[in-house]
Amino acid sequence: MGSAGRPRVRYAFAMPLLTLAVGLAAMVAASPARADFRVCNATQNLVGVGIGYRAKAGWITEGWWHIEGSSCKTLIEGPLSSRFYYLYAEDAERGGRWDGPINMCVAEKEFKIAGVTDCVARGFQRAGFQEYDTGEQASWMVQLTDDPATGGVPAAPGTNSQ
């Protein structure tokens, strides 16, 4: 009788654990997936980041987000509405930058600028942004690493963060 009772004991413990696991899986599946455009700073330095995108009213550039070393920030909250986003970042301590070939407008202080032409004539600065094709994903993450922060090399590729 001793060995006949053991399977029941194991079953008695396994059933509540299985029920708990299924319940947790259902809660995770029921929670909405987080959708946004995030930038992670894998360096040890403070980085200033600007983003560009096409809105219904035309081109927009926004900045500056200050991202501490070894941390991430969400630049756009919610599902992404554009396929292409553009990023420019500067290392606030070492002076390096992550840039690209697409010219857009930036400002010295916090900014939200409509349009990407005649930057200097309109009182802004021109900066080269790197293009990220999100493939129409709902969320995307770009990681800035030490390697490109030496004077104008593109940032690491972005990834779908889902």
Q: What is the DSSP string of 143-159?
A: EE-STTTTTTPPPPPEE
Which domain range does residue 134 map to?
Answer: 35-142
* Partner residues linked to 158 by β-bridges: 142
Burial of 72-102, coded b for 16+ CB within 10 Å and e otherwise, reads bbebbeeebeeeebbbbbbbeebebbbbbeb
Give the pLDDT of residue 115: 97
Q: What is the pLDDT of residues 10-29, one digit of tens each?
A: 434 333 333 333 333 333 33
Q: Residue 28 domain-assigned?
A: no
Q: How many CB atoms lie within 10 A of CB 150?
A: 12
pLDDT digits (tens, 9 = 90+) for 96-130: 999 999 999 999 999 999 999 999 999 999 999 99
Tell me the per-residue pLDDT of 68-85, one tens digit each, with 9 for 90 and over: 999 999 999 999 988 999
Q: Is the pTM of this model over 0.95?
A: no
Residue 47 falls within a domain, yes or no? yes
Is 16 a member of any domain?
no
Tell me, yes or no, whether 115 lies in a domain: yes
Q: How many domains does the chain have?
A: 1
Residue 154 lies in a domain: no
The Cα–Cα gap between 66 and 41 comes to: 10
